[in-house]
Amino acid sequence: MIESLGLTKTFSEFTAVKDLSFKVEPGEIYGLLGPNGSGKSTTMKMLLGLLRPTSGTARIAGHDIINDVVAAKRVMGYVPEEPVLPERLTGWEFINYVADIWRMPRGSQRQQDIEELLTLLDISDASNDLIETYSKGMSRKISLVAALVHRPKILILDEVQAGIDPRGAATIKEILNGLRSKGATILMSTHILEIAEELCVRIGIIKDGSMIAEGTMDELRMMAEGQRNLEEIFLALTGGPDMQRIAQYLRGSGESS
């Protein structure tokens, strides 16, 4: 289980995350949604023990992220928004390096598990190429393999589907659903609202660092007064495009020839 207990993060004067509390149960995929800069990645980094909260705390599978951060980190897998990868290693070397860090026994079982994940995500053929040659989508896929390799029961995925091809996105969806049904706790952020709608049991929408709506699709639909899909709900709650300004801009750009 993930329990965010009043997490708050202030960068000098600016409060990026304000008193944020929510829970993700085992067997649940929770979608954290919100406009750019609303505090999703900052929240995730605090949950991961990578960024110290200004106040509040969180419990990861019962482990406090401030007093018991090592135990908390051990049960989590994380795909960052912008994975920083060792460019001079091959995909295969990188994943084995990660498996070594987790002290996974070297042997045929481990090799088989890794090969299976690489094949599932269509990057097996590239596994002997240097990571510096990988496309953005491939980098994200190898980062997902790295996050899954020690079979964590808690997954934190920051826009993992961004830049992934449709087959990859469908594969990730199946993997996450499979892990969820086996009891994994999954927190993910995404701007692809269709994915959130299909995958997430519950959704939290944050804006300016605060939770402005939380619930199942049905509950959110009621909050946004009967809007049908998540895009309409999201725009109703966080604000849609400024049509007046857009029209003004388009007028200024004149007739196209």
154-158 and 76-79 as β-strands: parallel, antiparallel, unpaired? parallel
d(CA 165, CA 161): 9
Spatial CA neighbour of 191 closest among 205, 175, 173, 177 = 205
Binder to ligand ADP among 29, 31, 39, 139 (CB under 6 A)?
39
Decide: is 16 part of the binding site for ligand ADP (CB under 6 A).
yes
Total binding residues for Mg ion by CB under 5 A? 3
Min dist CB 30 to Mg ion, Å, is 16
Decide: is 97 part of the binding site for ligand ADP (CB under 6 A).
no
Decide: is 205 part of the binding site for ligand ADP (CB under 6 A).
no
Min dist CB 45 to ligand ADP, Å, is 8
Joined tokens for residue 121: 């995500």
Decide: is 41 part of the binding site for Mg ion (CB under 5 A).
yes
Spatial CA neighbour of 32 closest among 239, 233, 213, 235 = 213
Decide: is 36 part of the binding site for ligand ADP (CB under 6 A).
yes
The 10 Å Cβ neighbour count of residue 237 is 17
Min dist CB 220 to ligand ADP, Å, is 18
Piece of 37-45, 168-176, 219-227, 230-238 that binds Mg ion (CB under 5 A):
37-45
Binder to ligand ADP among 18, 40, 180, 202 (CB under 6 A)?
40
Q: How is 66-114 classified by DSSP, letter by letter?
A: TTSHHHHHHTEEEE-SS----TTSBHHHHHHHHHHHTTPPPSHHHHHHH
